[in-house]
A = this chain, B = another copy of it.
Amino acid sequence: MKFISTPVKGMNDFMPSDMRLREHVLGLIKETYATYGFEQIETPAMEHIENLTGKQGGENEKLIFKIMKRGRELEKGMESGEIADSGLRYDLTVPLARYYSNNKNNLPTPLKALQIGNVWRADKPQKGRFRQFTQCDIDIIGDSSIMAEIELIAATSKMLTRIFSEVGIREFTVHINDRRILKAMAAYAGFTEDQYDDVFITLDKMDKIGLEGVKESLLKKEYPAEAVEKYTAMFEKVTPDLECGRFCAETCASHLDEKVPDSMDTILESVACMIDPSVHLVFDPTLVRGMSYYTGTIFEISIDGYNFSIAGGGRYDDMIGRFCNQPAPAIGFSIGFERIVTILKDLNWQEQAGGRKRTAFLVDEKAGPAKLLEVFKKATDIRAQGAIVTVQPLKKNAKFQIETLEKNGYTDIKKVYGDTEL
């Protein structure tokens, strides 16, 4: 019999120490969002292949793990689509749209949903990128007001502060922009609507290639020099901060609904009063967010000093409504759970002091049934007081056994022989 010990390529076995960290972080996520009135929901790992290939998933649709129909015989010339009617979900957004469409009559409005679950992508495995990983998505469906923006951004900032303060990190930056301002700035510069997405893809590279790089890149793509000049000139005048949203909005006011900058002001002001003072809140006109389904406010959170975001999202008012044939304004945050866990592990996260006391009874094999009974009675008493107790046979190599227990937080380790007093 052939047996393979390693996990499937690109997937992980989690050790007890990994799980302690993961469960701890998940606990803080659940607990924080609960305080803001979010409720957990869950969908199956498998989705209909039609839903997974409906063009909402972008590049991820190329990475689907397809699942074979049961009992389907292979025939000559058959396409893979004919033998697979489902696949593993590659994100939690498509399943959320299906879930809401299926259950909307039994759900509160607005629905404030927390989803935690694994997703699968047949990506090329590399450091920090896995074929199975945990996603956390937090969404509000059915609230078109800016209260949704404020609640979501405040809750997420709070959650990150709680998690990272345990390793001494308190400085985050929340980047906020609005797809409507982004578009108005492009329109004001003279780009046409069909050019926006491509212009934004270039703008999105600002943090890597700088403003000069963006300019060069746009000119190389043969966009009119005048538009490129007018567009990049705006970014020269601002750095991301609380005020610059107003500048951007005023500059391109002729192309923008006047309510947008007012709403942005209220969002920024309200969030500012809800978050930790060490969290920086900035309007960032260069923030793009890749997915085309965003319709309004967009946001990302990064740890100061780290060169990537650990949470991102935005408002997507049209997508879910399209699936369920009724208006369903929506806004969501996706948390980079695996990134968070990796950072904490790298920073040598340890369980906080004040954890539960751990006692180990290591019982010699010759101790006899009466002594064993005594040990178990004692263990039961200590457990009733809330401590963690393990009862194990005393190994021949007790030194290694004891070291391992100590490494796992056992501070009270007792060897028990037939004549040991407990």
Convert A96-135 into 0s and 1s, putting 1 for each residue whose CB lies closer than 8 angstroms to a CB of B.
0011011100111110110000101010000000001000
Convert A17-45 into 0s and 1s, putting 1 for each residue whose CB lies closer than 8 angstroms to a CB of B.
01110110000001000111101111111
Instruction: Please name the residue on chain B nearest to A114 by beta carbon.
Output: B19
| B372–A270 touching, CB < 8 Å | yes
Question: Which stretch (A72-80, A191-199, A239-247) binds chain B?
Answer: A72-80
Can you list 15 residue pairs at the A/B interface with Cβ under 8 Å? Answer: A3-B50, A5-B324, A8-B44, A8-B86, A13-B41, A13-B42, A19-B39, A36-B383, A37-B358, A45-B120, A70-B122, A76-B76, A83-B83, A144-B393, A266-B372
List, in ascending order, chain B residues with CB within 8 A of A36's CB.
383, 388-390
Please, how many angstroms separate the alpha-carbon atoms of A65 and B83 in the complex?
12
Convert A50-63 into 0s and 1s, putting 1 for each residue whose CB lies closer than 8 angstroms to a CB of B.
11001100000000
Please, how many angstroms separate the alpha-carbon atoms of A99 and B150 in the complex?
44
Expressed in whole angstroms, the minimum distance between the Cβ of A54 and any Cβ of chain B is 5
New A-B contacts (18) at CB < 8 Å, excluding given A2-B50, A35-B386, A144-B393: A4-B98, A5-B323, A13-B43, A19-B41, A36-B388, A37-B388, A44-B132, A45-B132, A66-B68, A67-B68, A74-B74, A74-B79, A147-B393, A150-B376, A154-B376, A266-B373, A270-B369, A274-B376
Residues of A within 8 A of B (CB): 1-8, 11-16, 18-20, 22-23, 30, 34-37, 39-48, 50-51, 54-55, 65-68, 70, 74, 76-80, 83-84, 86, 88, 98-99, 101-103, 106-110, 112-113, 118, 120, 122, 132, 143-145, 147, 150-151, 154, 262, 265-266, 269-270, 273-274, 323-324, 358, 360, 363, 365, 369, 372-373, 376-377, 379-380, 383, 386-393, 395, 401, 404-405, 408
A11-B46, A67-B67 known; A35+B377 contact, CB < 8 A: no
Expressed in whole angstroms, the minimum distance between the Cβ of A13 and any Cβ of chain B is 5
Instruction: Please name the residue on chain B nearest to A401 by beta carbon.
Output: B109
List, in ascending order, chain B residues with CB within 8 A of A274's CB.
376-377, 379-380
Name the residue in A6, A19, A51, A376 with the highest tally of chain B Cβ atoms < 10 Å from its Cβ.
A376
Instruction: Please name the residue on chain B nearest to A63 by beta carbon.
Output: B70
A46-B8, A408-B108 known; A14+B34 contact, CB < 8 A: no
| A392–B110 touching, CB < 8 Å | yes
| B392–A273 touching, CB < 8 Å | no
Expressed in whole angstroms, the minimum distance between the Cβ of A186 and any Cβ of chain B is 28
Please, how many angstroms separate the alpha-carbon atoms of A86 and B376 in the complex?
44
| B323–A7 touching, CB < 8 Å | no
| B51–A4 touching, CB < 8 Å | yes
| B37–A389 touching, CB < 8 Å | yes
List, in ascending order, chain B residues with CB within 8 A of A109's CB.
395, 401, 404
Please, how many angstroms separate the alpha-carbon atoms of A74 and B78 in the complex?
7
Please, how many angstroms separate the alpha-carbon atoms of A106 and B18 in the complex?
12
CB-based closest 10 A-B pairs = A37-B390, A16-B39, A11-B44, A19-B40, A14-B42, A5-B102, A5-B101, A266-B369, A4-B48, A66-B68
| A1–B54 touching, CB < 8 Å | yes
Which residue in B7, B40, B68, B379 is a CB contact (below 8 Å) of A16? B40
Which residue in B67, B113, B388 is a CB contact (below 8 Å) of A66? B67
Please, how many angstroms separate the alpha-carbon atoms of A274 and B376 in the complex?
7
Please, how many angstroms separate the alpha-carbon atoms of A380 and B150 in the complex?
12
Expressed in whole angstroms, the minimum distance between the Cβ of A414 and any Cβ of chain B is 14
Which residue in B22, B70, B373 is a CB contact (below 8 Å) of A273? B373
Please, how many angstroms separate the alpha-carbon atoms of A273 and B370 in the complex?
12
| A42–B19 touching, CB < 8 Å | yes
| A15–B106 touching, CB < 8 Å | yes
